[in-house]
Amino acid sequence: MPHDGLKSTAPHFAPATTIGDLTDWGDQPDMIEGQPHSSRILLWQNADKTSESALCQCTLGTWRLSIPSEELCHFIAGRATYTSDDG
């Protein structure tokens, strides 16, 4: 259902004033440097769980990441560098 009178049926999220309670995901597996730790909160997920939107928070560090399908990241603070296996 459209939020605040918007005409789109796409999911809309009210302006966030706080992230809320993040779920602790613990230390990142496959750490390379530092001790990176992540937490997140799921905002939306479709019925068959093939698509979702979440807010994630990670501490500093380097780790090996495997992305099984497409992923879009929008950073609101900090930065990340993604490097493929072949450099």
Break the chain into its structural domains and give their ranges. Answer: 18-87
Phi/psi of residue 65, nearest 5 degrees: -125, 130
Give the rounded percent of residues in the chain with a pLDDT score beyond 70. Answer: 79
Average model confidence (pLDDT) across the chain: 81
pTM: 0.61
List pLDDT tens digits, range 33-52.
999 999 998 888 889 988 88
- Residue that is written with structure tokens 């879009």 in the block: 72
Query: Hey, what are 51's tokens?
Result: 């698509």
Listing DSSP states for 4-33 in one string gives TT-S--S---PPPS----PEEEEEPTTEEE
